[in-house]
Chain A
């Protein structure tokens, strides 16, 4: 294990737990959560996704896994291709193309998955039993394919210079500065909005790119200490989430900066289970990126990510990630231009 000090070193951890309600009803965890460290911890990406889990979205556990995996892979390519670019270039390209590219890649993965594994008789008869024959017939139409895999998607990438966030659907991305107690939400919760908690935009929507929120934050005037991504099972479990959740974010931020990664890794599954059991019983996922108080506390040559059952796995950066590519390719203008095609 090597430790090195650099411009900035991020730590990241993700955890996704099956909700108490799904355990009771023998349903899979329909959330997914994943993190990735790039460039020896100088950059980090986190993604969480919440599969819809309705009778029509009977493969949403697959859809959410595809969503986080695709989001991280595409975002990693984006960061590599725009390394050294100006803030304006990154912001413009990210806003216009990043989510759209993720969305297209996700749709391709869904189509490939369906081609290899068409809907089974069991899946369709379960849908018919629940929603009737019309719903079953509708699910078979090609244009309805993506509904079966529908999910939300939240993504954050941190580099030494900036943060980019994408939010599509419900859930929260919240960040907090070093010396500030103020918690900022990427998509503020509108106090006057009526919260029927089972409604959301979806990556399966035909017009999904129009509904995604993109945020670019330059670190010219300081950088966040911690960012927390979570699916709505977490927020919804509080009786007064507008008051409670910022305090939760602050407490996590304080804890992460004081503690070792191994400790957080060990405790996080139990904490999420506790929230689900005492709250709304939904699948509950959280991902964090933070700057350690001291660089010595941060292992930099490991990527750590949670599988959906909450176990921890650590691995070296996979060869397919762009940071494993030849450095000379990174500032190649054609690589940036392809994003605008």
Chain B
């Protein structure tokens, strides 16, 4: 029989801890992101939102946010590979060059969101995809495989299209018709939308609700309404004004 002291809490020898929440930035670093200071604006926006995220996490007792970042252009590469406590996370500016191999990004994401790689217990992950173009590789199959994963199904997914990004692809990433990708056409607006994306942590850590009457089956938490579009300040770039085809400029190597 287990000998237990009446003074000790039963189970005091067992390890307690906060719930992990994994937050992953998935960022388009194709050459077109060099146009009109888009990549600079994105770097600034992510840096700006970090204190905001840390404050949200401070307000949530019992939740620990681990952040990482995946970049894609010619191939895919982890910008921050190790899930890092957001309190210690530092953003190194991204550099843009290459094409838009979004399909490879989906494949890489699928590896890390596989049940074997994720914690046994945790809050739904948050995935934020930012792109200004359309994929230049096969993306539909990898996306389908990604969205079939349990953790991807439960994830809070946000997609932000910069300029004339292919919004249909971003809509497919979101995986359901109720959520819509956001479009941003200037730096100031992007900061606002990235900050809103960061507040999805609150949603991901929100307690459960029953479905009630007439609800459709959804497995991801619902986000609050996004912020209204903010017009560019006079003199600032308006992304998408340079395009004549209605699509983002084709990416090309810089030689």
**Residues of A that sit less than 8 Å from B by CB:** 19-21, 24-25, 30, 52-57, 130-132, 134, 141, 143-144, 146-147, 150, 170, 181, 192, 194-206, 236-245, 247-248, 250-252, 254-255, 258-259, 263, 267, 270-271, 274-276, 278-282
Known contacts being A244-B15, A281-B61, is A197 close to B121, with CB within 8 Å?
Answer: yes
Query: Of B13, B15, B122, B210, which contacts A196 at CB under 8 A?
Result: B122
Residues of chain A within 8 A (CB-CB) of B225 are 132, 134
Q: Which 9 A-B pairs have the closest CB atoms?
A: A202-B210, A281-B62, A281-B61, A143-B213, A248-B11, A280-B62, A251-B10, A244-B14, A147-B212
CA A247 to CA B219, docked complex, whole Å: 32
B209 touches A255 (CB 8 A): no
**Apart from A56-B209, A251-B2, what are 14 other A-B pairs with CB-CB below 8 Å?**
A21-B61, A52-B210, A54-B207, A134-B225, A198-B124, A198-B206, A198-B207, A237-B17, A238-B11, A241-B121, A244-B11, A250-B2, A259-B6, A282-B62
Residues of chain A within 8 A (CB-CB) of B219 are 199
A280 touches B63 (CB 8 A): yes
Residues of chain A within 8 A (CB-CB) of B214 are 143, 206
Query: Of A20, A21, A205, A259, which contacts B212 at CB under 8 A?
Result: A205
CA A57 to CA B206, docked complex, whole Å: 11
Known contacts being A197-B122, A259-B6, is A150 close to B154, with CB within 8 Å?
Answer: no
Q: Count how many chain B residues have C-beta atoms less than 8 Å from C-beta atoms of the other chain.
A: 46
Query: Of B18, B118, B154, B206, which contacts A280 at CB under 8 A?
Result: B18
Supply 24 A–B pairs (Cβ within 8 Å), ascending by A: A30-B207, A54-B206, A54-B208, A55-B206, A146-B210, A196-B122, A198-B123, A198-B205, A198-B206, A198-B207, A198-B208, A199-B219, A200-B210, A202-B211, A204-B212, A238-B15, A241-B121, A244-B14, A248-B14, A251-B4, A251-B10, A258-B6, A278-B16, A279-B17
B6 touches A203 (CB 8 A): no
Query: Of B18, B19, B210, which contacts A203 at CB under 8 A?
Result: B210
B210 touches A197 (CB 8 A): no
Residues of chain B within 8 A (CB-CB) of A56 are 209
CA A250 to CA B18, docked complex, whole Å: 24
Segment 16-37 of B: residues with Cβ below 8 Å from A: 16-19
CA A181 to CA B219, docked complex, whole Å: 37
- Closest residue of B by beta carbon distance from A142: B213
Residues of chain A within 8 A (CB-CB) of B121 are 195, 197, 236, 241
Residues of chain B within 8 A (CB-CB) of A258 are 4, 6
Residues of chain B within 8 A (CB-CB) of A245 are 11
- Closest residue of A by beta carbon distance from B153: A194
**Is B60 in the interface zone, CB < 8 Å from A?**
yes
Query: Of A144, A194, A241, A282, which contacts B151 at CB under 8 A?
Result: A194
Residues of chain B within 8 A (CB-CB) of A181 are 2
**Is B59 in the interface zone, CB < 8 Å from A?**
yes
CA A198 to CA B15, docked complex, whole Å: 21
Residues of chain A within 8 A (CB-CB) of B1 are 254
CA A206 to CA B213, docked complex, whole Å: 6
CA A50 to CA B139, docked complex, whole Å: 42
A194 touches B115 (CB 8 A): yes
Query: Of B9, B17, B18, B209, which contacts A54 at CB under 8 A?
Result: B209
**Is B234 in the interface zone, CB < 8 Å from A?**
no
**Is B253 in the interface zone, CB < 8 Å from A?**
no
- Closest residue of B by beta carbon distance from A53: B207
For the complex formed, measure the closest distance between the CB of A236 and the CB atoms of chain B, giving whole angstroms.
6
CA A113 to CA B205, docked complex, whole Å: 29
Residues of chain B within 8 A (CB-CB) of A203 are 210
CA A206 to CA B224, docked complex, whole Å: 25
**Is B3 in the interface zone, CB < 8 Å from A?**
yes
For the complex formed, measure the closest distance between the CB of A258 and the CB atoms of chain B, giving whole angstroms.
8
For the complex formed, measure the closest distance between the CB of A243 and the CB atoms of chain B, giving whole angstroms.
8
Interface flags, B217-240, vs A, CB<8A=1, else 0: 001011011000000000000000
